[in-house]
Structure 1
Amino acid sequence: MADAETEAALGEQPEEPRAGGRVQSVVAGAIPVLLGAVAAWLSFGLNIGSLTEPGPGLWPLIVAGLLVASGIGIIAVTAKTRRDTEAFTRGTIAVLAAAGGLAVYASLYEIVGFEVPTVLLLFAWLRFLSRESWLMSAILAVAVTAVAYALFIIGLNVPLPHLIAF
């Protein structure tokens, strides 16, 4: 915020983001459509159930539907308004890295339990995406995992897979 105020005081305008182009606009909408379609297909393998007796696949199906609708909305808005999306930047790489970390977390979660993947994911996000110090990243990752453990496993008795038993 101080940078924007400094630029305004100097009479400079903040830099406008680069336009990504029409192809990137379609890609930006197609990615959530494809992810949502795959997630919807996988959710049918989890037993959808009904609205009165939902199965484990109902919420993933709802989220998948929202992903598909969002992607279609992105494509429709960019086609109708003829406006481009922002160009992919270094920040895009950080988002992809965060999503990749979340995918690894989800794959390790059932195998290793709640604690270890959670500490590792939080540490990686804090250290490499937020650029916190090594010590602060370690302290926060362990502390937040401990609070989540206390809240969900001890307090709410949620049956999460975990290694540490109290």
Structure 2
Amino acid sequence: MPHFLRQFWDSFLSPMLQRPKRFQVAALCYRESDDGRQVLLVTSRGTGRWIIPKGWPIRGLSSAQAAKQEAWEEAGVSKGSMADTSIGTYTYDKTLRNGLPVPVEAHVYPFEVKNLKKDFPEASERERKWVSPSDAAGLVQEQELKSILRDW
């Protein structure tokens, strides 16, 4: 492809054809232990890959409150201290029920866990485990989330 066509595609056409990113909230659940800080990962329902709890905003709740709700539903976090400020964002493609992928930007809120319940809404659909932040970075797939975990 000639240089001017490539430049036209990259700078004008391609951005116009991309779907805008959708917004999600995510809870970076953690605890302090004798072995240092640990992060709680859960498996996704569809693929079984390791993720942090996340979901769509909830009407009437702040982003941090919605992330806290996701931590309860997906990981069973019943008590803890949620930060009001995001520590970063990561992007990924989410496949919707209709099979189409949409770009998503997830805002990450740290959530210090004080209590976990064995019985929670998605307990039968997910596994969960505590790991070090560096081990968590090795288990998740999203590059920006890996960076957040390593830097945090």
Shorter-chain TM-score tier: under 0.3
Rg (Cα) greater in structure: 1
Query: What TM-score do the two structures reach when normalised by structure 2?
Result: 0.23
Query: What TM-score do the two structures reach when normalised by structure 1?
Result: 0.22
Whichever structure has more strand as a proportion of its residues is 2
Whichever structure has more helix as a proportion of its residues is 1
